[in-house]
């Protein structure tokens, strides 16, 4: 049974240009999804809609059969979905622990350690960590929020190959071992190959490969 | 993570911004607190001034044609006698005293009487019939008369005439000695009728009449006798006796007009029979510089508050733009807008608590200098008015002198009114000494500062976050990327 359902989504920019038209998709827990698409195809826009950062012009997004607007997007973002960005989006005056604690519903230190951060690193200012370490902190923040859906927008875009592989494995594990629904937006075929289901966004339409 | 912890982390980690904000708030708080303290001190000084100077109004019997109760008799020799059938009685006074704000009163009247005593003759020849006439002063309380208040006379034996005394008299020790009288003896007094009064007090003359001054018998200090109101009524026979004038002291001269207005509303008194005159010019003129300082300071506080709010709003808006990224992250994490604004507000408030507290020290160092600088500036403008005060002093020749003195050494109000000799008022622009506003920062002013400061901060944070909070999270995130 799907945890998240996207029904007949339509989205257009303010200038009237349509970017998404009649998008339908279902996402299940315990699986990792990859959404592929060329630059400007609307991948990030779709992720923003699924993440409750914006509202579609038409259609609806259902979380466990309930429209996410029902309880409000703030509630949805706080309780049901976590976002991981390409640029990490960490709070620059906080340590990894403090960043992870922002929306944490469980103890963050074991999660950070499991993701490979040392005791010394977790107390350092996040801006003094490497890109890979910062992305691990972002993933730790998403995992510690303990939401059933994790959305990742080009999570390996700024990372070297080894680190990227490591991050992909963490996301896969999160889906398979922690029963999360992981949706990754990427233009990397290598990353997409690791996903359980690959979807492609083309000319405003989403279809399974 | 809670709002307060996020705010605490920001304040402690972004030290540069926090220190800069601390100094902005400190400057703002110092100005506001200084203004509030000066305004409060000015208010205090005015209150002290009011207490010390007091104010008074008089009710006087109107003997003109306007008074329907006024009567005129002319005897065979052409002497005119004016009197009223509706005089100022104790009942009238009691009615007036029901009005709030009136502290005390002093009623007196004097009338020509002849006594069965050998009086001291004057050195001015007058008509034979006046040779043995003297003044009998009828009062509610002899202690409050100008003779005793100014210490021209001093009671040396017996007691004063008070409200509940009847058939009582007080005479001078000289008159008592000349006539072999002592306390408890009775004297006979004659006017329209004859009355007897027991001597209950004897006074000594501390300030005798000038040796070479021309003075008639009835004006000689030794011949003045004091009688109670009942004895006066006995002397008048069937004509209703009353006081010529009553002076009412009010605690707060600033309220004098209101009090008089309320007095005149008393329906139990027929005001066609009386005139009401006021006297609070001394207070008004003396308080003028302080009033100007207060007006100036209140205007200054309003300007400071507005300028502070604008500056703080601009600074926070500027900083807010650099925090769009952070705001976007918080929103994407599902942190409510209200909690984000709460964090920004808490950050400023955390710094403000210290800045406002520290402004106690900075304000204390500048407040006195600034207060007296302002006072000096208003003093030059008020110099002319001060001269008017001095002229008023000239009119008040009945033992009242006004000297300029530091207001901090103003004597206790009650004591001052009791003595009624030297009223020391603060004044400025004179060549002797200058008034100083002794201003200190009070707890009340600090409390006011916190209220005003918090209001400014809430306004500024609200203004600075308005633009960001109207955006959708995705718009913020696209702005930051």
Which tens digit of pLDDT belongs to each residue from A74-104? 899 989 999 888 888 899 999 999 999 998 8
Average pLDDT of the segment spanning B125-142: 81
Contacts of B217 (CB under 8 A, 6+ apart): B119, B120, B121, B122, B126, B130, B131, B132, B133, B134, B223
Shortest distance between the Cα of B320 and any Cα of chain A, in A, equals: 15
In chain B, the percentage of residues whose pLDDT exceeds 90 is 27
Tokens of A104: 């944490």
A102 part of contact set with chain B, CB < 8 Å: yes
B438 pLDDT band (50/70/90 cuts)?
A: low
* N-term to C-term CA, chain B: 25
Contacts of A103 in chain B (CB under 8 A): 1, 333-335
The β-bridge relationship of strands B401-404 and B422-425 is parallel
Rounded Cα gap, residues A137 and A169, in angstroms? 15
Rounded Cα gap, residues B435 and B424, in angstroms? 11
pLDDT at position B461: 92
Asked if A91's CB is within 8 angstroms of B14's CB, the reply is: no
Contacts of A81 in chain B (CB under 8 A): 334
Average pLDDT of the segment spanning A59-69: 91
Asked if A102's CB is within 8 angstroms of B333's CB, the reply is: yes
Tokens of B347: 């950050």
The winner for highest mean pLDDT among B140-154, B362-376, B395-409 is B140-154
Which has more confidence, B388 or A30? A30
pLDDT at position B391: 41
pLDDT at position A95: 93
Shortest distance between the Cα of A84 and any Cα of chain B, in A, equals: 10
**pLDDT tens figures, A121-155:** 899 999 999 888 898 898 889 888 889 999 998 88
For residue B27, the Cα-to-chain-centroid distance in whole angstroms is 35
* B471 to B314, B327, B387: CA distances (angstroms): 19, 10, 66
Contacts of A76 in chain B (CB under 8 A): 334
A104 part of contact set with chain B, CB < 8 Å: yes
Dihedral sign for Cα atoms in the order B225, B230, B235, B241: positive
Alpha helices (H) in A80-130, listed in sequence order:
96-101, 108-114
* B161 to B92, B148, B155, B352: CA distances (angstroms): 20, 12, 11, 64
pLDDT at B21 exceeding the cut of 90: yes
- Residues B471, B69 contacting (CB under 8 angstroms): no
Asked if A51's CB is within 8 angstroms of B472's CB, the reply is: no
Rounded Cα gap, residues B185 and B203, in angstroms? 15
Sequence length of chain B is 481
**pLDDT tens figures, B164-218:** 888 999 999 999 999 999 999 999 998 888 899 999 999 999 988 777 778 888 8
The winner for highest mean pLDDT among B1-5, B190-194, B205-209, B237-241 is B1-5
Contacts of A85 in chain B (CB under 8 A): 332
* B348 to B98, B162, B236, B311, B318: CA distances (angstroms): 54, 66, 80, 14, 14
Tokens of A76: 């949805």
DSSP state of B181: -
Q: Report all structural domains of chain A as residue ranges with CATH numbers, in order of start.
A: 30-55+72-208 (3.40.50.300)
Rounded Cα gap, residues B188 and A184, in angstroms? 122
DSSP string, B70-133: EEEEE-TT--EEEEESS-B-HHHHHHHHTSTTEEEEEEEEEEEEEESS-PPP-SS---GGGTTE
Contacts of B329 in chain A (CB under 8 A): 89-91
pLDDT at position A189: 83
B336 part of contact set with chain A, CB < 8 Å: yes
Asked if A103's CB is within 8 angstroms of B335's CB, the reply is: yes
Contacts of B171 (CB under 8 A, 6+ apart): B181, B187, B199, B202, B203, B225, B226
Q: Which of B12, B18, B9, B21 is nearest to B315 (CA)?
A: B21
pLDDT at position A37: 86
Q: Could you give the 3-state DSSP secondary structure of residue B2? A: coil
B379 pLDDT band (50/70/90 cuts)?
A: low
A121 part of contact set with chain B, CB < 8 Å: no
- Residues B340, B471 contacting (CB under 8 angstroms): no
Phi, psi of B83 (to 5 degrees): -155, 170
Of A158-162, B155-159, B274-278, the poorest mean pLDDT is in: A158-162
The β-bridge relationship of strands B225-227 and B133-139 is parallel
Shortest distance between the Cα of A46 and any Cα of chain B, in A, equals: 11
pLDDT at position B478: 65
pLDDT at position B24: 93
A78 part of contact set with chain B, CB < 8 Å: yes
- Residues A85, B342 contacting (CB under 8 angstroms): no
pLDDT at position B332: 86
pLDDT at position B414: 38
pLDDT at A180 exceeding the cut of 50: yes
- Residues A95, A123 contacting (CB under 8 angstroms): yes
- Residues A167, A133 contacting (CB under 8 angstroms): no
Dihedral sign for Cα atoms in the order B376, B382, B387, B393: negative
Contacts of A138 in chain B (CB under 8 A): none
Tokens of A202: 């083309």
Of A75, A83, A125, the CB nearest to B332: A83
Of A135-139, B313-317, B319-323, B410-414, the poorest mean pLDDT is in: B410-414
Contacts of B331 in chain A (CB under 8 A): 53, 77
pLDDT at B404 exceeding the cut of 50: no
A2 pLDDT band (50/70/90 cuts)?
A: confident
pLDDT at position B415: 39
Domain ranges of chain B: 3-51+284-480, 56-279
Rounded Cα gap, residues B310 and B295, in angstroms? 23
Nearest-10 Cα torsion for A179, A180, A183, A187: -70
Average pLDDT of the segment spanning B88-113: 86
Rounded Cα gap, residues B142 and B148, in angstroms? 7
pLDDT at B431 exceeding the cut of 50: no
Asked if B1's CB is within 8 angstroms of A89's CB, the reply is: no
Beta bridge partners of B55: B250
B319 part of contact set with chain A, CB < 8 Å: no
Question: Does the ipTM exceed 0.90?
Answer: no
pLDDT at position B394: 38
pLDDT at position A191: 84
Tokens of A88: 């990490």
Angle at CA of residue A145, ends A139 and A147, nearest 5°? 95
Average pLDDT of the segment spanning B254-266: 87
- Residues A174, A182 contacting (CB under 8 angstroms): yes
pLDDT at position B420: 33
Angle at CA of residue A84, ends A81 and A88, nearest 5°? 145
A173 part of contact set with chain B, CB < 8 Å: no
B344 pLDDT band (50/70/90 cuts)?
A: very high
In chain A, the percentage of residues whose pLDDT exceeds 70 is 100
In chain A, the percentage of residues whose pLDDT exceeds 90 is 31
pLDDT at position B435: 53
- Residues B232, B169 contacting (CB under 8 angstroms): no
pLDDT at B412 exceeding the cut of 70: no
Chain pair A-B, CB pairs under 8 angstroms:
64
DSSP state of B471: S
- Chain B nearest-CA residue for A100: B1
Rounded Cα gap, residues B18 and B318, in angstroms? 14
pLDDT at position A67: 92
Return the exposure string of A158-193: e unless at least 16 CB atoms fall within 10 Å of the residue's CB, then b: bbeeebbebbbebbbebbeeeebbbbbbbebeebbe
Contacts of B15 in chain A (CB under 8 A): none
Sequence length of chain A is 209
Rounded Cα gap, residues B119 and B179, in angstroms? 9
A71 pLDDT band (50/70/90 cuts)?
A: confident
The β-bridge relationship of strands A58-63 and A2-12 is antiparallel
For residue A45, the Cα-to-chain-centroid distance in whole angstroms is 12
Average pLDDT of the segment spanning A52-68: 90
Average pLDDT of the segment spanning B11-38: 91
A98 part of contact set with chain B, CB < 8 Å: yes
- Chain B nearest-CA residue for A87: B481
Asked if B10's CB is within 8 angstroms of A90's CB, the reply is: no
Angle between helices B281-321 and B324-332 (to 10 degrees): 70
Q: Which of B287, B304, B443, B301 is nearest to B375 (CA)?
A: B287
Asked if A76's CB is within 8 angstroms of B335's CB, the reply is: no
Question: Residue A145, class by beta-carbon neighbours within 10 Å (0-12 exposed, 13-18 middle, 19+ buried)?
Answer: buried
């Amino acid at each position: 049974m799907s945890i998240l359902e996207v029904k007949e989504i339509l989205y257009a920019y303010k200038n009237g240009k349509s970017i998404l038209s009649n998008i339908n998709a279902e996402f299940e827990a315990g699986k990792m999804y990859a959404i592929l698409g060329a630059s400007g195809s609307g991948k990030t826009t779709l992720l923003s809609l699924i993440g409750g950062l914006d509202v579609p012009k038409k259609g609806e997004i259902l979380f466990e059969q309930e429209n996410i607007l029902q309880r409000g997007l703030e509630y949805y973002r706080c309780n049901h979905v976590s976002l991981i960005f390409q640029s990490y989006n960490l709070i620059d005056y906080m340590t990894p622990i403090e960043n992870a604690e922002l929306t944490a519903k469980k103890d963050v230190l074991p999660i950070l350690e499991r993701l490979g951060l040392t005791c010394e690193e977790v107390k350092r200012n996040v801006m003094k960590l490497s890109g890979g370490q910062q992305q691990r902190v972002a993933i730790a923040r998403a995992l510690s929020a303990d939401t059933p859906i994790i959305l990742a927008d080009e999570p390996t875009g700024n990372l070297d190959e080894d680190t990227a592989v490591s991050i992909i494995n963490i996301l896969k594990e999160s889906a398979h071992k922690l029963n999360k629904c992981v949706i990754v937006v990427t233009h990397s075929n290598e990353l997409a190959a690791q996903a359980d289901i690959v979807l492609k966004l083309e000319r405003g339409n989403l279809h399974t490969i | 993570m809670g709002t307060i912890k996020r705010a605490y982390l920001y304040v402690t980690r972004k030290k540069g911004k926090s220190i800069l904000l601390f100094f902005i708030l400190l400057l703002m708080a110092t100005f506001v607190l200084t203004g509030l303290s000066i305004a409060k001190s000015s208010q205090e000084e005015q209150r002290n001034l009011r207490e010390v100077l007091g104010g008074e109004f008089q009710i006087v019997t109107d003997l003109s044609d306007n008074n329907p109760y006024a009567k005129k008799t002319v005897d065979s020799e052409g002497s005119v006698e004016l009197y009223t059938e509706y005089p100022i009685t104790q009942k009238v006074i009691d009615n007036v005293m029901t009005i709030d704000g009136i502290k005390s009163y002093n009623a007196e009247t004097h009338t020509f009487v002849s006594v069965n005593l050998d009086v001291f003759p004057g050195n001015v020849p007058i008509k034979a019939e006046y040779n043995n006439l003297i003044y009998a002063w009828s009062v509610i309380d002899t202690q409050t008369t100008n003779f005793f208040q100014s210490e021209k006379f001093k009671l040396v034996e017996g007691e004063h005439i008070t409200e509940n005394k009847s058939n009582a008299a007080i005479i001078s020790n000289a008159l008592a000695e000349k006539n072999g009288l002592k306390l408890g003896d009775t004297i006979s007094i004659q006017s329209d009728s004859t009355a007897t009064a027991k001597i209950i007090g004897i006074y000594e003359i501390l300030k005798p009449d000038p040796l070479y001054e021309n003075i008639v018998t009835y004006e000689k200090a030794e011949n003045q006798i004091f009688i109670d109101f009942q004895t006066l009524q006995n002397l008048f026979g069937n004509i209703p006796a009353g006081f010529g004038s009553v002076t009412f002291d009010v605690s707060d001269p600033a309220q004098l007009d209101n009090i008089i207005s309320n007095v005149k509303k008393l329906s139990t008194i027929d005001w066609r029979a009386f005139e009401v005159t006021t006297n609070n010019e001394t207070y008004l003129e003396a308080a003028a510089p302080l009033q100007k300082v207060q007006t100036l300071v209140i205007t200054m506080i309003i300007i400071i508050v507005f300028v502070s709010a604008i500056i703080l709003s601009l600074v926070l808006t500027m900083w807010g733009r650099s925090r769009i990224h952070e705001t976007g992250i918080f929103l994407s994490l599902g942190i409510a807008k209200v909690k984000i604004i709460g964090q920004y507000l808490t950050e400023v408030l955390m710094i403000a608590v210290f800045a406002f507290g520290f402004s106690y020290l900075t304000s204390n160092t500048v407040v006195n200098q600034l207060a007296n600088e302002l006072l000096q500036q208003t003093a030059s403008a008020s110099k002319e008015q001060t001269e008017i005060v001095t002229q008023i002093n000239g009119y008040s020749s009945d033992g009242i002198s006004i000297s300029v003195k530091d207001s901090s050494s103003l004597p206790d109000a009650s004591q001052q009114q009791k003595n009624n000799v030297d009223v020391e008022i603060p004044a400025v622009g004179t060549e002797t000494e200058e008034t100083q506003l002794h201003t200190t920062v009070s707890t009340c002013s600090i409390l006011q500062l916190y209220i005003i400061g918090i209001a400014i901060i809430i306004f500024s944070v609200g203004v600075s976050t308005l633009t960001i909070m109207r955006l959708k999270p995705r718009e913020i995130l696209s702005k930051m990327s």
